[in-house]
Structure 1
């Protein structure tokens, strides 16, 4: 799982218990997973079809930095299934796991599903190539 993005929990993200509101976490997960899926399939013509099990394990509090880890679970003819782990950046404590988030590529005009032409193997190769172009030599 690659942790790709981070967000700061702000006062307007809190629920009555002064912890990250579950609805806000789900909004962030859907957005982050959609961006990830769009990058994987190299298209912005995706819709969220399904979100499977979502398990909240610990709270995020105001001022916490949360990070989103994403991975591809499966690739269908018109779909991609991803998982998203949200954790506290400082403590690495899991905040929640959203499993089986399915996105479907659609034709922009008809909004009907269309094949994307990707496989798990193609996505693995694409990711390897992308990572090789990044300057990851940290001193």
Structure 2
């Protein structure tokens, strides 16, 4: 994705699942994974905005595959779309196959962050211009998710959710 400024809005980290991170079955606690997700997403949001960015919402988390004790886990966070002061961040979680070292998709999350100034007030963030087909799909889907969220919160009317409406008219 190309942005209006030179900062990179992608962040990646790798963790090892240690005993402190697991439940009695030797599987990664969902809460531990959520903490890792929130942390890496905050870094991506900060890198995009150049400002401190705070978690506004955890929009979606999918726990599609249990992660074992000792597993090597890589989290990749990328800002999928920037609005006024908010940014949607998609986090892809991969587990490394111990034999082949292949990355296997295990979880995904979508969070919203808001960039704030030194007084804690929301501040505008640069826009993002998607460059690849996947980036475009995520960019477009981000607007639909935002409209749905605003609609459910009563902040917009149904007829203002044009992207959602377009889904049903196709």
> What is the aligned-residue RMSD (CA, Å)?
2.0
Equivalent-residue separation in structure 1 for 2:58 and 2:50 (angstroms): 21
1:80 equivalent to 2:87? Answer: yes
- 1:76-104 alpha-carbon deviations (Å, 9 max, x no partner): 111111100111023422221102x1110
1:59 equivalent to 2:39? Answer: no
Equivalent-residue separation in structure 2 for 1:3 and 1:89 (angstroms): 18
1:96 equivalent to 2:103? Answer: no
Contact 1:4 1:67 in 2 (8 A): yes
Q: Which has the larger radius of gyration?
A: 2
Structure 1 residues 74 and 3, CA gap change in structure 2 (3 angstroms):
closer
**What residue in structure 2 maps to residue 136 of structure 1?**
none
Contact 1:3 1:67 in 2 (8 A): no
Equivalent-residue separation in structure 2 for 1:47 and 1:72 (angstroms): 14
**What residue in structure 2 maps to residue 47 of structure 1?**
54
1:68 equivalent to 2:75? Answer: yes
Contact 2:11 2:78 in 1 (8 A): no
Equivalent-residue separation in structure 2 for 1:120 and 1:62 (angstroms): 37
Moved over 3 A (4+): none
Q: Which has the higher helix share?
A: 2
Tell me the TM-score normalized by structure 1. 0.77
1:107 equivalent to 2:117? Answer: yes
Query: How many correspondences in the alignment?
Result: 119
Mapping for residues 106-125 of structure 1, pairs under 5 Å: 106-109=116-119, 111-116=120-125, 118-121=126-129
Equivalent-residue separation in structure 2 for 1:98 and 1:75 (angstroms): 17
Tell me the TM-score normalized by structure 2. 0.64
Any unmatched runs of 5+ in structure 1?
125-139
Equivalent-residue separation in structure 2 for 1:49 and 1:55 (angstroms): 18
Contact 1:53 1:98 in 2 (8 A): yes
